[in-house]
Amino acid sequence: MPGDQELFDAVLQADRDRVIAAVRAGVDGGTPVSSLLMDCMVPAMREIGDRFAAGELFIPEMLFAARAMQAGLDIVEPLLGDSDHGSLGRVAVGTVKGDMHDIGKNLVVMMLKGGGYRVTDLGVDCSLETYEAAVAEGSTVLCCSALLTSTMTYMKQVVGRFQKDPAVKVIVGGAPVTRAFAEDIGADGFAEHASEATRVVSACLAGSAPAR
């Protein structure tokens, strides 16, 4: 992590003020913003995701880390050129129609942001039109979350809608969603935990096999 252990630590410890200070110092000191993002913040978020998956961190800590990271991103993002993180791709994340649960979806948003992706948070209760609009704005990966057995079937409609468009991938998740269900409806990817979302998205973008 060239140069900025401080930024890495600050994100990891969810210290918002220190993140802001470290990003400002980095920018002022001439560190390329892409490096602040990819070499400091992204690895810190990966570490946080791994610790969450390992049961060493919990949702409250994840929320705080997300806030700290967001404060840093707010400074970094306007300074990033398209080539800086545009190359990773644009991802849209939303909870499907009829479903208002967003705690898990927010964790996915945060992990993907922390993975260096450009993320559009579509919020909850997302209809096909919402996902279509996200694609029209350049998202190539759609992440759908559902917490109710009555709404998870909507994911099938989302998958169906974009089936004929090879450029668009649909990834599904949420407590009742299983790998078997994801395969059944023909989703391009599935993950049990938010922390795996970046891996699944990157596999999708690399054009790898469906639902693994």
Q: Which residue ranges make up the site for other proteins (CB under 8 A)?
A: 52, 55, 58-61, 63-64, 98, 100, 103, 148-150, 152-153, 175-176, 178, 181
Could you say whether residue 56 binds ligand B12 (CB under 6 A)?
Answer: no
- Shortest approach of ligand B12 to residue 57 CB, angstroms? 11
Say which entry of ligand B12, other proteins, none residue 64 contacts (CB below 5 to 8 A, set by partner kind): other proteins
Task: Give me the least distance between CB of 57 and other proteins, in Å please.
Answer: 8
Give yes or no for residue 101 binding ligand B12 (CB under 6 A): yes
Strand order in the sheet with 118-126: 118-126, 90-96, 141-145, 169-173, 189-190
Q: Does 72 bind ligand B12 (CB under 6 A)?
A: no
Q: How far is the CB of 155 from ligand B12 (least distance, A)?
A: 9
Burial bucket for residue 165 (CB in 10 Å: 0-12, 13-18, 19+)? exposed
CA–CA dist 65, 135 (Å, integer): 28
